[in-house]
A and B are shown apart, each in its own frame.
Chain A
Amino acid sequence: MKEIIKSQRLGEEYIQIEHPSGLTLMLYPMKGYSTAYALFATQCGSIDDHFKTQQDDSYVQVPAGIAHFLEHKLFECEDGDAFAKYAKTGASANAYTSFDRTAYLFSCSDQFKETLSILLDFVTKPYFTQQTVEKEQGIIGQEIRMYDDNPDWQVFFNLLGALYQKHPIRVDIAGTVESIAQINADLLYRCYRTFYNLNNMVLAIAGNFEVDTVLELCDQILKPAENIVIERTPVDEPLQVAQKRVEVHLPVAVSLFQIGFKGRSLSPSENFKGQILDEVLLEILAGESSPLYRRLYDKGLINSTFVGEILCGRDYISMLFSGESRDPDQVYEAICQEVAKVQKEGIDPETFARVKKSVYGRYIGMYSRVDAVAGLMVQADFAGIGVYEILDVLSQITKEQLEERLASIYQVEHSALSVVSPVQEQ
């Protein structure tokens, strides 16, 4: 099944194809670009720690960090390392694991066909042995150690640990040195069989390439996938936070903070559309032109590192504010007051119109970067909406809609503060 989706606004189009193998293809050729950017992604992330398919008798509880471990291990093939294969085409390749997905990517300017065939091949042919698993434990162990010393990472995961009581989002994506020690080849295969089913995956490509090349390769390499049903145990996460405040000491000069408002999660597509609304809300509440930003900046409580963002996925959504401050507690209090005030008094219409225009302009920019376009396609597909619907949602936003959202999704009482402060000298 092939569908061409056009945007009048941008004067562009992309093609969406349901390939007979079960894989969804989203192909966005872009004129004038030298490189092509491809993402081969599956809905398997660090939060997928308890699952089964209809073929399994019982659920399995996997060690924290297994999705990320699997991502590392897939690069190993029976006939050598995937990086060594990419070396022959000059592509720049990588992969990442987030809370709710794993993606394998490359950027290339030449030999697109050869490069794509490497990607399709290694991701669909797992190969692990006990020996290669052990080798990876050393490498990932050092990756985890690197994060242990990284204050931005610490302040973030401590916040998630404070916001969430049960949800596996509170656990580090890479796991711990102890949890990854429990990973073995059998567990990796079980994860792979469950989540790397083509029906659960998408291939998104943007930039300089030919659509026919992709189709030809998919026909050649991809075998039709069995229709499996993945059952994930739903998390019964209350809206109440686990802890209001968490603080650790690390070698930093000025305290780092993250403030989170745990949102009420809806369906994946509602979360995704909600995220776009929330980005407008963030700007209204604490963007650079907001009275709150100005007050905090003038008091020296925040600096230019201050930023707001929405953390959103399949079954979680939170509004986050982060930065450096001499007094994170005061910043936290001021943000809570502002949220409560806007909830009570509503949004100023002039501010709303201005900020809406601004967020729209920034989104337009994403459609001119090959990596951003590929990323948007994956996100949109996993959320079950179209890539251009993002711009439609943005252009149709109303002030009332935002007010309703702020009232129903975010509550001051469901918020928390995480601080990383300087090491105190004895």
Chain B
Amino acid sequence: MSGHLQSQKIGPGVTFRWVQDSKFKHNRISVNWILPLDRNTVTQYALLPFLLRKGYQDCPDFSQLNKKLEELYGAFLSGDVSKYGQYQVLDLTMQAVDNRFTLAGEDLIGESAQLLAGLACRPNIQQGSFPAEDVQLEKQFLRDTIEAEINDKRTYALSKCRSIMCEGEPSAIKKYGYLEDVDAITPKTAAEAYERIMDQAAIEIIFVGSGDPAKAREIFAQAFGGMERHPISVGPTVTQTEAEKVRESVERMDLVQAKLVLGLRTGNLETQRQKTAARMMTALYGGTPFSKLFLNVREKMSLCYYCAARFDRTTGIMMVDCGIEPANREKAQGEILNQLHLLQQGQVTEEELASTKLTLKNSLRTVTDSLGGINDWYLTQIFSQNNISPEEEEREIESISLKEIVEAANKVTLDTVYLLTGKENR
């Protein structure tokens, strides 16, 4: 078990959270800017973590910054963008060995926090602009990142299906933004976008590690404390809960294997308990190597290497995906839906439920054994309005009954079928 989460407000809309656990050898600090996903701002904002990662006023040069990180025993620093329901999250994350393992007793927690706070609060902005060369380069890399989405066909197909499902809703907006909006970004508009996120984002700083977070907390409180800000408040993601009709979409590329994705809605989930039941139902259906989909679509019918279901707690969307011979599409889709139908009819045993509970319990415990796992867990909690620990979730899982699982299955409706397949006559 890991230590408990503690938190302290250190500025308007700025929270510092920490979990201290002596078993680790590193400390990880992440600064997260939470912003509403908006087609008009998403691309500008997506550029920011990469610009911030390049340097700051005390260390404006990219290579010098990287040398500094090496001096800090190979501290890891990254900037990236993620998406939780209707929110875009920009992050700067740093991880360094704990003071205990330094060769000359250096204070790496203090130095890491100083560096990260500097990168977050005192970027390379001169006369209202980021350096022109940096902006030009990072714009090109952002274009590459947006375009590289098609490289991994499985992820691409899942994301495409989600966008079709949530058309018109903020959740459909892509986290890195849009190619056609990259060009318009200038060194000046990028600096303005930075000023806006510092004014409006809900900021979550998360410290996980074996060291004492007090010094880091003090440094961040100083950096963020004096600001006058107008932060957003983070509310639940609003999405459609039931499918109206089934949307179908086919896309063709130069491929040998087809990717079939089914987007499903899990009904109106009013309580945390209902969400947990939906998550467990998804695991029973296609989340484990003994789930309905794995045992039937893969093992029995030998149609695919993977066939899995996943549940997004923030949107209540369930996705099922598999990679198949293009000719087997009907067969695979038929069996996926048949298995859902059987689950809805209650064809599920206490034994399957018990196994699924054990598996979920195990994955919750795995969360507490890694710094990244703990960080992501508590960040996710913010979006599901559910500030609970993995241990608390474990207890809830334990108490869910078979009846609740079948009820959850009966709320599921098929919304979208998306197929990415090879070109005809290939």
- Tell me the A residues contacting B by CB distance below 8 Å: 9-10, 30-35, 81, 83-84, 86-93, 107-111, 135-136, 138-140, 142-143, 145-146, 148-152, 207, 250-254, 256, 283, 287-291, 293-294, 297-298, 300, 303-305, 324, 354-355, 357-362, 364-365, 367-370, 423
Contacts and interface: CB of A to CB of B under 8 A. Distances in A.
Contacts of A357: 70-71, 73-74, 103
B25 A142 contact: no
B362 A109 contact: yes
B151 A253 contact: yes
B361 interface: yes
Nearest to A304: B141
B299 interface: yes
Interface of B: 1-2, 21-26, 50, 62-63, 66-67, 69-76, 95-97, 101, 103, 133, 137, 140-141, 144-145, 147-154, 253-257, 288-290, 294, 298-299, 302-306, 323-325, 352, 354-355, 357-363, 365-366, 368-370
Contacts of A305: 148
B257 A145 contact: yes
Given A107-B362, A364-B26, 20 more contacts: A9-B101, A32-B23, A90-B355, A90-B357, A90-B362, A139-B305, A146-B306, A151-B151, A252-B150, A289-B66, A289-B67, A289-B70, A297-B62, A300-B137, A303-B144, A324-B148, A354-B67, A358-B69, A361-B73, A367-B25
The 7 closest A-B pairs by CB, nearest first: A90-B358, A361-B73, A32-B23, A253-B147, A358-B74, A138-B302, A289-B66
Nearest to B96: A361
Contact of A369 (B66, B257, B370): B370
29 contacts: A9-B101, A35-B366, A87-B358, A88-B358, A90-B357, A110-B361, A110-B362, A139-B298, A142-B323, A142-B324, A143-B305, A145-B256, A149-B256, A151-B151, A152-B152, A250-B254, A252-B151, A253-B148, A253-B150, A254-B144, A289-B69, A289-B70, A291-B63, A300-B140, A303-B144, A305-B148, A355-B70, A361-B72, A370-B369
A109 B363 CA distance: 9
B254 A142 contact: no
B74 A35 contact: no
B388 to A, nearest CB: 17
A308 B321 CA distance: 32
Contacts of A138: 302-303
Contacts, number: 199
B344 to A, nearest CB: 22
Given A107-B366, A142-B305, A358 B151 contact: no
A368 B24 contact: yes
B71 A32 contact: no
A180 to B, nearest CB: 13
